[in-house]
């Protein structure tokens, strides 16, 4: 792995940055104040973003997880996982909520890429998919879900409720986690693609949130909702030995992407803070810390933390592109980037004082937006637990 961004993605990064500067930033405050209003300006970007991932069948860009055979013997690959991460960093430098609201850019697309078979990848190409995991009595413990899927001929019948579904009302379809048999535990959990308009599926409310207000977050109920059996992602067989590993591969795709979102918003805060304080800051990084002002020393430390989080994020994406298992690295990147983004955005508000706290600047908005990036796709605490299990070679039953 090289530490520089792959040269072949330079144009992609520049295009994404221009979108952030010229489209997302100008409307950022507008849709922060108009929660649940659809950002119509994003429609014109859909086709552009469809081409940002090397023509892969998934809109978010993570076309493979770190499973399968390592390609390390046949050269290093920088593919759609890396391109997705780099593009997301730039777009979230513009606005996290608007990135999450982007047509055909749902986290469910990464779920499809993680576990779908070849026929499903072709059939769901171009769809905009949200992802529905969390339930009213099931938050961080994804294995505790209670939504059921009962086989009935050529269909599965889904019953249950999902909450906090990002893009749940706007997306074309929703990837729903449900259990085939509660008695078999987590091994029986499968994911299903449920298209909006399917009878028995109903959006019951939209959440009011602290941040990412441009993105809709929905609660959805499934009441005797009949879904074609062909929409079960991957294999319908329950493999008790493999356990929960099948659907959990989804997170190996999505966690580096969420980490990339955190990297983007943190960079926005650092850049703007240095711009606002430029008259009182030195750019001499070789100066001794004791010779720097508090603001200089703080920003230097935050930039070092940000750079560490960025490299961890790109490593997790690089591993997936090269078919190298990345579950531990995906959780490390998500944990580090989420925590760093929270600290960076809040510290930047603090350093800029009243200006950072007011709506005259986007700094206060970025601090609100960043909080969710340490929560969804697995909280900070869950990521640390996963990393501990991998490092100590413990199962979920052995280390809770």
What six digits make up the tokens of 33?
């104040």
* Res 59 pLDDT > 50: no
Segment among 142-151, 212-221, 245-254, 331-340 with least mean pLDDT = 245-254
Structure confidence at residue 62 (pLDDT): 42
Tracing tokens 């990412």 back to the chain, one arrives at 212
- In this structure, how many other beta carbons lie within 10 angstroms of the beta carbon of residue 398? 9
Which residues, in sequence order, are CB contacts of 194 under 8 Å at separation 6+? 158, 173, 174, 175, 176, 201, 222, 225, 227, 231
Report in angstroms the alpha-carbon separations of 250 from 52, 175, 178, 398.
21, 11, 14, 23
Where b means 16+ CB within 10 Å and e means fewer, 258-274 reads: bbbbbbbbbbbbbebbb
Region 282-287: what's the mean pLDDT? 73
Segment among 163-167, 229-233, 244-248 with least mean pLDDT = 244-248
| Packed helices 245-276 and 363-371: angle between N→C axes, nearest 10 degrees | 160
Higher per-residue confidence, 70 vs 203: 203
Which CATH number fits the domain 129-231, given the four candidates 1.25.40.10, 2.40.110.10, 3.40.718.10, 3.30.2130.10? 2.40.110.10
* Res 163 pLDDT > 50: yes
Predicted confidence band at 1 (pLDDT cuts at 50, 70, 90)? Answer: low
Structure confidence at residue 238 (pLDDT): 81
* Res 34 pLDDT > 80: yes
Predicted confidence band at 205 (pLDDT cuts at 50, 70, 90)? Answer: very high
* Res 77 pLDDT > 70: yes
Catalytic residue, chosen from 90, 207, 377, 398, is 377
**Among residues 315, 305, 361, 359, which one has the least CA distance to residue 337?**
305
Structure confidence at residue 50 (pLDDT): 59
* Res 70 pLDDT > 60: no
Predicted confidence band at 44 (pLDDT cuts at 50, 70, 90)? Answer: confident
Region 195-199: what's the mean pLDDT? 97
Structure confidence at residue 53 (pLDDT): 46
- In this structure, how many other beta carbons lie within 10 angstroms of the beta carbon of residue 204? 11
Region 247-253: what's the mean pLDDT? 80
| From-to residues of CATH 1.20.140.10 in the chain | 245-392
Tracing tokens 């703080």 back to the chain, one arrives at 298
Region 234-252: what's the mean pLDDT? 72
State the Cα–Cα distance between residues 50 and 123, nearest whole angstrom: 16
Provide the β-strand partners of residue 203: 220
- In this structure, how many other beta carbons lie within 10 angstroms of the beta carbon of residue 163? 20
* Res 199 pLDDT > 70: yes
What six digits make up the tokens of 253?
């795709």
| From-to residues of CATH 1.10.540.10 in the chain | 7-123
State the Cα–Cα distance between residues 233 and 231, nearest whole angstrom: 6
* Res 133 pLDDT > 70: yes
Q: What percent of the chain has pLDDT over 70?
A: 90
Instruction: Give the CA-trace dihedral at 85, 90, 96, 98, to 10 degrees.
Output: -110
| Average model confidence (pLDDT) across the chain | 89
pTM: 0.92
At the top level of CATH, the class of 7-123 is: mainly alpha
Angle subtended at Cα 70 by Cα 64 and Cα 73, rounded to the nearest 5 degrees: 135
Predicted confidence band at 65 (pLDDT cuts at 50, 70, 90)? Answer: low
Region 324-332: what's the mean pLDDT? 95
Q: What is the pLDDT of residues 382-392, one digit of tens each?
A: 999 999 999 99
The distance of Cα 388 from the centroid of its chain, to the nearest Å, equals: 22
Region 41-70: what's the mean pLDDT? 56
Structure confidence at residue 234 (pLDDT): 87
Architecture of domain 245-392 in this structure:
Up-down Bundle (1.20)
| From-to residues of CATH 2.40.110.10 in the chain | 129-231
Annotation says 377 is catalytic: yes
Which residues, in sequence order, are CB contacts of 233 under 8 Å at separation 6+? 111, 112, 115, 116, 120, 175, 190, 191, 192, 193
Torsions phi, psi for 358 (to 5 deg): -90, 165
Predicted confidence band at 61 (pLDDT cuts at 50, 70, 90)? Answer: very low
């Amino acid at each position: 792995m090289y530490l520089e961004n792959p040269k072949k993605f330079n144009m992609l990064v520049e295009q994404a940055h221009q979108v952030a500067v010229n489209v997302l930033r100008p409307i950022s405050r507008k849709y922060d104040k108009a929660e649940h209003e659809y950002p119509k300006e994003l429609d014109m970007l859909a086709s552009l973003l469809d081409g940002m991932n090397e023509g892969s069948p998934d809109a978010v860009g993570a076309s493979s997880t770190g499973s399968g055979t390592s390609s390390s013997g046949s050269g290093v690959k920088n593919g759609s996982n890396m391109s997705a991460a780099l593009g997301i960093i730039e777009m979230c430098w513009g606005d996290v909520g608007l990135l999450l609201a982007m047509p055909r850019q749902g986290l469910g697309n990464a779920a499809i890429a993680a576990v779908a078979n070849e026929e499903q990848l072709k059939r769901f190409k171009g769809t905009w998919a949200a992802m529905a995991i969390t339930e009213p009595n099931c938050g961080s413990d994804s294995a505790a879900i209670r939504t059921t899927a009962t086989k009935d001929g050529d269909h599965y019948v889904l019953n249950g409720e999902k909450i906090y579904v990002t893009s749940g009302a706007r997306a074309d379809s929703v990837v729903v986690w449900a259990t085939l048999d509660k008695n078999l535990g987590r091994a029986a959990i499968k994911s299903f693609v449920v298209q909006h308009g399917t009878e028995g599926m109903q959006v019951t409310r939209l959440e009011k949130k602290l941040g990412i207000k441009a993105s809709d977050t929905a609660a959805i109920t499934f009441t005797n909702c009949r879904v074609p059996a062909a929409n079960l992602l991957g294999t319908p067989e329950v493999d008790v030995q493999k356990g929960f590993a099948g659907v959990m591969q989804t997170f190996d795709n999505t966690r580096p992407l969420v980490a990339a979102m955190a990297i983007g918003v943190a960079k926005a805060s650092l850049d703007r803070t240095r711009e606002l304080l430029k008259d009182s800051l030195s750019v001499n990084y070789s100066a001794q810390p004791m010779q720097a002002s508090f603001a200089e020393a703080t920003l230097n430390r935050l930039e070092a933390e940000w750079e560490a989080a960025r490299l961890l994020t790109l490593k997790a994406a690089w591993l997936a592109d090269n078919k190298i298992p990345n579950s531990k690295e995906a959780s490390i990147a998500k944990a580090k980037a989420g925590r760093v983004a929270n600290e960076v955005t809040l510290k930047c508000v603090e350093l800029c004082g009243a200006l950072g706290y007011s709506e005259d600047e986007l700094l206060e908005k970025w601090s609100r937006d960043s909080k969710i990036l340490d929560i969804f796709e697995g909280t900070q605490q869950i990521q640390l637990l996963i990393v501990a299990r991998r490092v100590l070679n413990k199962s979920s039953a052995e280390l809770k």
